[in-house]
């Protein structure tokens, strides 16, 4: 078995290899063809290929010299004004190597920069516009100050669809000669919530811990903090059926297995919204109960007592159905 981390091994090297962002890829390829581009702002949640897209632009635009013309900085590690005044400014001032007239600076997680750092970045972007282009990535574009966002072309990356996540994972398994059940692929897609990096990370852990080189749905749920959907549904259904202790036992067992209260409540909320009941007001009441339980625990209330309170409220709700 190849021990290289799969996340880096299967990172796309070309824009065409990026899955799930077809519209954005088509536009970015035009910049590569013209060997020119404006400053760019990539916004979206984690694991949707923002950083990968920036690296692919550099690799296709500069060829073998891409590493000489591309600098990556993670703003969450060095978020103050000094990184802009020193690292960014010094790099931006130096001319590019090759036939492209500018270099590229990638500022990952730019929404972590301080306001002062963003103001300094704006001035640097203006001063070195002829010799350097900036690609900023962020989870929340609203945290980027207006003077910067107005100087960039904004691309909003969407979460990757479940079928695309499954396609990515199946391709990795085929390349690594790993057997995986279709149910396990579906579980990875469900758990990753549109995050390709998280999906491959789960797959990587699973292939290193499975005993017979075949990944099953049980393996996936054992290595993640997620709970099998059937157990979550059983918690709700048994409570609504006035089986207080049966519902509580499932939660107690999950806590003993190391599942946090936050993870239990998060997945209860997700499944509650998907629950098919004749009266949709039941869904609304369940959301209210779970939400209040989460708030009370976050304020310091005892977890087990609050779970008992939550189930009791669901039992009362069930008596009204």
Amino acid 218: pLDDT: 87
Which CATH number belongs to the domain containing residue 71 in this structure?
Answer: 3.40.50.300
pLDDT for 319 = 81
Q: Please give the pLDDT value at position 4.
A: 55
| 266 and 218 in a common domain | no
Same domain for 239 and 298: yes
Instruction: Give the single-character DSSP code of 130.
Output: T
Distance between CA 26 and CA 241 in Å, rounded? 52
DSSP class of residue 16 equals: G
Same domain, 40 and 121: yes
Same domain as 145, residue 25:
yes
Q: Which pLDDT tens digits describe the chain residue by residue (321 residues)?
A: 444 578 888 899 999 999 999 999 999 999 999 999 999 999 999 999 999 999 999 999 999 999 999 999 886 666 567 667 777 888 888 888 888 999 999 999 898 888 888 888 888 888 988 899 999 999 999 999 999 999 999 999 999 999 999 999 999 999 988 899 999 999 999 999 999 999 999 998 888 887 777 898 988 988 887 888 889 999 999 999 999 999 999 999 999 988 999 999 999 998 888 887 777 788 899 999 999 999 999 999 999 999 999 999 999 998 876
Please indicate, yes or no, whether residues 116 and 176 belong to a single structural domain of this protein: no
What DSSP letter does each residue of 42-110 carry, written as one string?
Answer: EE--TTSSHHHHHHHHHHHHHGGGGGGSEEEEETTTS-SHHHIIIIIHHHHHSPPSSSSS-EEEEEETG
**Beta partners for residue 71, in sequence order:** 105
Helix (H, G, I), strand (E, B) or coil at 178: coil
pLDDT at 83: 67
Number of independent structural domains in the chain: 3
How confident is the model at residue 76, as a pLDDT?
Answer: 64
Question: Which pLDDT does position 229 carry in this prediction?
Answer: 87
Provide the domain limits for residue 246: 229-318
CB 108, CB 137: distance < 8 Å? yes
- On whether residue 51 sits in a domain, the answer given is yes
Write phi, then psi, for 144 (nearest 5 degrees). -85, 130
Where a domain ends, among 208, 223, 238?
A: 223
Length of the chain in residues, anyone? Answer: 321
Asked if residue 244 and residue 136 are part of one domain, the reply reads no
Whether residues 310 and 209 share a domain: the answer is: no
> What pLDDT shows up at residue 2?
47
pLDDT of residue 94: 85
Q: Is the dihedral of CA 286, 288, 289, 291 positive or negative?
A: positive
| 288, 273 Cβ separation under 8 angstroms | no
The dihedral sign for the CA sequence 116, 36, 12, 92? negative
CB within 8 A of 227, min separation 6: which ones? Answer: 221, 254, 259, 263, 264, 267
- Taking the CA atoms of 107, 112, 117 and 118 in sequence, report the sign of the dihedral they define: positive
């Amino acid at each position: 078995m190849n021990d290289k981390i799969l996340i880096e091994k299967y990172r796309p090297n070309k824009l065409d290899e990026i899955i799930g962002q077809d519209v954005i890829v088509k536009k970015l390829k035009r910049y590569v063809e013209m060997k020119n581009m404006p400053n760019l702002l990539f916004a979206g949640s984690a694991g949707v290929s923002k950083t990968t897209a920036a690296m692919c632009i550099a690799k296709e635009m500069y060829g073998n010299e891409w590493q000489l013309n591309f600098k990556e900085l993670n703003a969450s590690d060095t978020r103050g004004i000094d990184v802009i005044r020193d690292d960014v400014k010094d790099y931006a001032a130096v001319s590019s190597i090759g036939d492209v007239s500018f270099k590229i600076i990638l500022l990952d997680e730019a929404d972590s920069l301080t306001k002062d750092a963003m103001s300094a970045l704006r001035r640097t972007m203006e001063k070195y516009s002829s010799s350097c282009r900036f690609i900023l990535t962020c989870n929340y574009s609203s945290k980027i100050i207006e003077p910067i966002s107005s100087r960039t072309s904004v691309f909003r990356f969407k979460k990757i669809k479940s079928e695309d996540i499954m396609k990515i994972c199946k391709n990795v398994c085929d390349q690594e000669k790993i057997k995986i059940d279709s149910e396990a692929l579906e579980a990875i897609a469900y758990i990753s919530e549109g995050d390709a990096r998280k999906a491959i990370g789960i797959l990587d852990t699973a292939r290193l811990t499975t005993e017979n080189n075949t990944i099953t749905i049980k393996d996936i749920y054992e290595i993640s903090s997620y709970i099998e959907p059937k157990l979550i549904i059983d918690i709700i259904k048994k409570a609504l059926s006035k089986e207080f202790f049966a519902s509580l036992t499932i939660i107690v067992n999950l806590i003993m297995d190391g599942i946090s209260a936050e993870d239990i409540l998060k997945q209860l909320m997700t499944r509650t919204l998907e629950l098919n009941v004749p009266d949709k007001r039941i869904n609304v009441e369940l959301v209210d109960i779970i939400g209040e339980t989460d708030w009370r625990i976050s304020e310091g209330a005892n977890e087990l007592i609050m779970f008992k309170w939550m189930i009791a409220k669901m039992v009362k709700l069930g008596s009204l159905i």
